[in-house]
Amino acid sequence: MPKSGPTHFVIDDHGPVRIIGLDVKIPGLHHGLIDEGAANWLDNVLAQAPDRPAIIMMHQPPFATHVPYLDAYCCHEGRRLAEVVSRYPAVERIVRGHVHRFMLVRFGETVLCTAPSTTAAIALQMRPDAQPASYIEPPGFLLHHWTEETGLVTHLVPIGSFPGPYTFA
């Protein structure tokens, strides 16, 4: 029988960084929601190891992208997430997708980044009257590397064949 309800999860046993999956999707809709249950679940999970580095993964963005046709697909009640995360300085990053664009924003006393697309990229059009569009841009992904000395470093990596290598001076 399929599981009903959110599918939050925690990976605690593979290295020094906790991976926390926060399910914010609403079945049948494009936008998400940080409801009280999700906020409480996350607060409880972070409180179990408040000093351990953590990455929170989610789908929809809990902030305004200022691309009007993307903001219709945001995660509502993002302030709840920001309130919880702001209490836990060991949250290194919030990562998410859904908008097919790389974005970086300060959020809840941490950094939130969105992944670029591996397929079509959503057009970066910030005018209020902008019409939805997408383009074939170079695909990419984010690589997150954590060390005790630096914390989490995030690299934007394009996918493809590119000229080089060239000498480094």
Single pTM value for the model:
0.91
CATH of domain 9-158: 3.30.750.180
Tell me the domain boundaries of the chain: 9-158
Going residue by residue through the chain, which has 169 residues, state the pLDDT in tens, using 9 for 90 and above: 455 668 999 999 888 999 999 999 888 888 989 999 999 999 999 999 999 999 999 998 999 999 998 888 899 999 999 999 999 999 999 998 888 899 999 999 999 999 999 999 899 999 999 999 999 989 999 999 999 999 999 999 999 999 999 998 7
**Using H for helix, E for strand and C for coil, what is the string for the chain?**
CCCCCCCCEEECCCCCCEEEECCCECCCCCCEECCHHHHHHHHHHHHHCCCCCEEEEECCCCCCCCCHHHHCCCEECHHHHHHHHCCCCCEEEEEECCCCCCEEEEECCEEEEECCCCCCEECCCCCCCCCCCEECCCCEEEEEEEECCCEEEEEEEECCCCCCCCCCC
